[in-house]
Amino acid sequence: MRILFFALAVAVVFLALQGTQKAVSDARPWMDPVITPEEKAAMEWIRSNTADRAVFVTDIFGGEFVMGSTLREGTLGGDWAIVPNVVGRMSDVQYRFYESNSSKEAWETAVKLNATYATVPNRNIFAGYAWKLPNKDIFNDGRYFELVFDNGYRIYKVLK
């Protein structure tokens, strides 16, 4: 009986540890910084070099930071009650912009959202669905985007 109890206890501990590791893995993006020092430093460039009310493609946290620090507009974040089609915007920014494999698709998404600039953070982005690293390669096509600021956190002008 003792052996059975011991085996059962070992199995329970093993399974509990498996769940703990997954929980820590799932929570890690929420525990990492959502704004980097480079992102903070970029706000001065934005204030000095962009028009008032310029629109930036951002993830949720980046949009809140851009709006709060520069009084520019982000495509996500801010007053959710007045953002038109917020669920569609989250999907567009997550999948058709930051996770896109096509420069043209990302550009079309930025234009659809009336963005004049796009931010590409040096961190995972969260646009409402998942924490992911942005696909930085899609911004290398000079027909659609022009790099205007880079300290690790990149800002691209959306070409019209």
Q: What is the pLDDT of residues 71-84, one digit of tens each?
A: 999 998 877 766 77
* Predicted pLDDT of residue 34: 81
Please, which residues bridge with residue 146 across strands? 157
What is the number of domains present in the chain?
A: 2
Query: 136 φ, ψ to 5°?
Result: -70, -25
Pair (14, 76) in one structural domain: no
pLDDT tier, 3 (very low <50, low <70, confident <90, very high otherwise):
confident
* Predicted pLDDT of residue 16: 73
pLDDT tier, 14 (very low <50, low <70, confident <90, very high otherwise):
confident
Pair (1, 51) in one structural domain: no
Pair (87, 153) in one structural domain: yes
Pair (27, 41) in one structural domain: no
Chain centroid, CA 109 distance in Å: 15
Pair (76, 140) in one structural domain: yes
* Predicted pLDDT of residue 32: 73
Report pTM.
0.83
Pair (64, 116) in one structural domain: yes
Pair (23, 62) in one structural domain: no
Cα separations (Å) of 35 from 32, 60, 112, 122, 159?
Answer: 9, 11, 26, 9, 26
Does the structure show a pLDDT above 80 at 12?
Answer: no
For the residues 48-76, what does the mean pLDDT come to? Answer: 94
CB of 46 closer than 8 Å to CB of 155: yes
Does the structure show a pLDDT above 70 at 27?
Answer: no
Pair (64, 138) in one structural domain: yes
Pair (119, 46) in one structural domain: yes
Pair (44, 93) in one structural domain: yes
Q: Which domain holds residue 115?
A: 37-158
Please write the tens of the pLDDT for every residue from 87-135. 899 999 999 999 999 999 999 999 999 999 999 999 999 998 899 999 9
Pair (19, 62) in one structural domain: no
